Structure 1
Amino acid sequence: MAADQPTIVATSGGFRAGHRTPLEFHRLVHHAVDLSGVQGRKPRLCHVGTASGDQRWFNANLSEAGQLAGWEVSHLNLFTMPPSTDLTGWVGEHDVVWVGGGSVANLLAVWAVHELGSALRTAWESGVVLGGVSAGSICWYLGGSTDSFGPELRVITNGLGFLPYGCGVHYDSEAARRPTIHEAVASGALPVTHCTDDGAGLVYHGTSLVEAVSERPSGGAYIVRRDESSGTAQEESLDIRRL
């Protein structure tokens, strides 16, 4: 069973420290699995770790987290080569694709080489839930702020564009995030931009934002728009549901 419509869960969260394992999947990833509509078998989650260089030790930690959750977890490693000549078919065998954090600039460059974007679009349109954290959130949008190039944030605008907005992540935990997004929206470098505090996520059906959720008791989500009359960025807080 697949999600009944194209679904994306874009977040600044998803993992937590485990009790008996290094990591556990937190509520945002569980919510993505729930949205996939899987029944009667183990959910199949595809982890994509391109943004951090496909680190095998981290893959192992997530495989253990998957065993704890009762899921089948596989890893789409592009280093040193893809797992299949048919990435569309390979990705499409899963219920959820979860993209990890790291360098979104490097992620997009490597994905372009392997034409992974088209495979992910096909999966999304067929009901595979797409999700991710940080770089794994920004990638689904037109662009966002990133530290891919150094400690000072820069704005990228070459995201996959499945969602026709900008993206702001770690909005409450990194001091430069909010002013960077405001400046980019005010200047027109980014369009209307959707932002998440740590632990928060945004759920989209198609390209429509349908809900803001959080796996933490605090933190929120926001929409930043340009006020055409003043040329400034205006921020709106969203209602958020605690998972």
Structure 2
Amino acid sequence: MPADTPTVLATSGGLREGLRTRWEFSPLTDLAIDLAGVTGRAPRICFVATAQGDNPSSIHGLYDAAQVRGFTASHLSLVPMPNVDDVEGHLLGQDVVWVCGGSVAALLALWRLHGVDHAMRAAWAAGVVLTGVSAGSICWHTGGTTDSFGPELRPVTDGLALLPFSNGVHYDSETQRRPLFQRLIGERALDAGYATDDGVGLLYRGTKFVEAVGEKDSAGAYFVAADGQGGVTETRLDVRQL
């Protein structure tokens, strides 16, 4: 069952250490499932671990987390070859697509090589809820900051641009993130955008920001825009606790 409008929940969270499994889903992923509006059957969730090189261990851990919650899980992998014949059809058959963190630069390159960028746009337009963490948050935006190229963060400016904003992740937990995000926006290398501390997500309906939501007390969300004088303004947003 699709959401009633294109929906993205872009997060710095959604997953935590499990009690009996490696991971379990946390309230941000629960919200993504709720947004899909599934009734009468198990929610269908597809994991995409491109940013981790389709690491089998990561995919296995996500399947375990889905089993604990009673979700019907599948995954899309691209290495060494796509594991499904019809990528777009597979994504359109999901309620939620959950994208892992890792190298957003590699993710974007491989998605474009295999047409996953177009398939994701089709799924988004059809109301499949798109969510994920870190690289799985930045990818839906026009760009952001990334460690894809090494320990010194650099900009990535070729996101899918489903959303007309840049995106900053791990804003409170990685010291390079906040100053670089602000500098790049001040220099107009990145578009104005939204940033999240760990444990916070950004809900968009269509191309409009709706609200910030949190699974961790005191964690924040922010809107950063150029001030026209080479600097920026950073506005802390209200965060609805889940």
> Which TM-score tier does this pair reach, normalised by the shorter chain?
over 0.9
Distance of 1:178 and 1:84 partners within structure 2: 38
Opposite residue 233 of structure 2, the aligned amino acid is Q
User: 1:13 aligns to what SS in structure 2?
Assistant: coil
Q: Deviations over 1:101-158 (max 9, x none)?
A: 0000010111111010111111111110001100000000000000000111100100
TM-score, with structure 2 as normaliser: 0.99
Q: Which amino acid aligns with 1:192?
A: A
Q: Which residue of 1 aligns with 2:158?
A: 158
Aligned to 1:203: 203
Cα distance in 1 for residues equivalent to 2:129 and 2:91: 11
Please give the secondary structure, in 1, of the residue aligned with 2:204.
strand
Q: For residue 236 of structure 1, what is the amino acid of its counterpart?
A: T
Structure 2 runs not aligned, ≥5 long: none
Is the counterpart of residue 217 in structure 1 residue 214 in structure 2? no
Question: TM-score, normalised to structure 1's length?
Answer: 0.98
CA distance in structure 1 between the aligned counterparts of 2:60 and 2:156, rounded to whole angstroms: 31
State the shift of 1:224 in Å.
0.2
User: 1:13: which partner in 2?
Assistant: 13
Partner of 2:34: helix, strand, or coil? Answer: helix
Partner residue in 1 for 2:117 = 117
Q: How large is the Cα RMSD of the aligned pairs?
A: 0.7
| Structure 1 segments of 4+ aligned residues over 6 angstroms from their partners | none
Give the Cα separation in 2 of the matches to 1:188 and 1:194: 15
1:85: Cα distance to partner? 2.8
User: What is aligned with 1:242?
Assistant: 241
Paired residues for 1:54-133 under 5 Å: 54-133=54-133
Report the alpha carbon displacement of residue 84 of structure 1 after superposing the two structures with TM. 2.4
- CA distances 1:1-38 after superposition (whole Å, capped 9, x unpaired): 21010000000011101111111011111100000000
> Percent identity, aligned pairs only?
54
**Any conservation in 1 of the 2:76–2:84 contact (CA below 8 Å)?**
no
Matched residue SS, 2:233: strand
